[in-house]
Amino acid sequence: MARKVGVTVVGGGVVGLTTSLALAEAGYRVTCVRDVPATGTVSAVAGGLWFPYHVEPRDRVVGWGQEALARFRGLVRERGAGVRMAEGVLVERGPADRWWTHGVEGWREAAPSELPEGATGGVVAEVPLVTMPVFLPWLEKRCLAAGVVLEQARVDDLADVTADVVVVAAGLRSGELVGDASGRPSRGQVALLSNPGLDRWLVDDDHPQGMVYALPHPGWVVCGGTDVEGSWDLDPDPGVHAAIVARVRAVVPELAGAEVLGARVGLRPISPSVRLSRTTVRGRDVVTNYGHGGAGVTLSWGCAAEVVRLVGEVVA
């Protein structure tokens, strides 16, 4: 029997794990190397809403997002995955830009009663909402069951990785591994509030006092937020935290009396466009899968499928 081709995926957030699982299911011998467990990555801070936020290029994002949308719909029936379909409203405060609705079934115009003060319109849609502290451990278990070796180590040089093919999916650290200086962080701070029974999400990116979103999960609501490009600060800012809580309570009255559970900060890996391609690093073929901005969850399965295709080209 021919030896299985070995692939090492560098990075163990939602993108790295999904990529590892897709490669293992395609028949490759996969090792996923990550310097921290999935629960320590920016993916663990994510609100988990399927929505292509702060990511380019739109023409490719639509296709990746539609594939991930279909996979997440299928996972709703998977016990323990932490995925559900949830209805909510995307608030508009200006000209409507609804490119993201491609492939989203059954969306409709928001009624005035569903919109906060000052909104010019909105879209009501049912999309996947993923509870990341549940989904990430489930994804790790799926990887292990598929034969993926999960290795905790820090990769500082791809020359140290012994594998037939290397896939770089290490978020913000990816650029330094492949000589790409175009990436940058976008600091996202969120507040966690207890969930009083809220099941509908809301996103109001252009609220005049700052971004507002409320993403309800069993037991808590992820409330935001911020989008500060260039900041590497991982410490929650008390003033920003108080402002987030005040904004979200004003827009979502159901949260007015909800207990504040804490604050979290994550750094979105922003790039001019998603870096999903074959490249060469010091004479070695490498596949890259990073720069997903605020859409790592949203694009995860679609980008993983493309990585499988690209790895197939490398080893052909």
CB contact at 8 A, 222 and 47: yes
**CA–CA–CA angle 82, 103, 123 (5° rounding):** 80
For domain 6-83+128-181+271-315, which CATH number applies: 3.30.1300.10, 1.10.940.10, 3.40.50.720, 1.10.1040.10? 3.40.50.720
- The owner of tokens 């809220």 is 198
H or E stretch at 276: strand 275-281
Helical axes 14-25 vs 296-315, angle rounded to 10°: 40
pLDDT tens digits along 59-109? 999 999 999 999 999 999 999 999 999 999 999 999 999 999 999 999 999
pLDDT at 199: 97
Share of the chain above pLDDT 70, in %: 99
pLDDT the model gives residue 316: 86
Q: Is the whole model's pTM more than 0.75, yes or no?
A: yes
For 145-193, the pLDDT digits (tens) are 999 999 999 999 999 999 999 999 999 999 999 999 999 999 999 999 9
Cβ-contact 121, 97 below 8 angstroms: no
> What is the residue extent of each domain of the chain?
6-83+128-181+271-315
Q: Tens digit of pLDDT for each residue in 4-49?
A: 899 999 999 999 999 999 999 999 999 999 999 898 899 999 999 9
Distance of CA 120 to the CA centre of its chain: 28
Is the pLDDT at 2 greater than 70, yes or no?
no
pLDDT at position 1 is 34
As a whole number, mean pLDDT of residues 219-226 equals 97
If pLDDT is split at 50, 70 and 90, which confidence band does 315 have?
very high
The secondary structure of residue 49, as a DSSP letter, is B
Q: Could you please report the per-residue DSSP string of 144-184?
A: HHTT-EEEE---S-GGG--SSEEEE--GGGHHHHHT----E
pLDDT range class, residue 3, cuts 50, 70, 90: low
Q: Measure CA 36 to chain center.
A: 17
Contacts 24+ apart (CB under 8 A), 159-162: 159/282, 159/284, 161/8, 161/10, 161/33, 162/8
Residue 58 CA: distances (Å) to CA of 8, 18, 104, 183, 306: 29, 21, 15, 18, 16
Q: What is the sign, positive or negative, of the torsion defined by CA atoms of 73, 48, 86, 116?
A: negative
Report the distance separating Cα 230 and Cα 114, nearest Å: 34
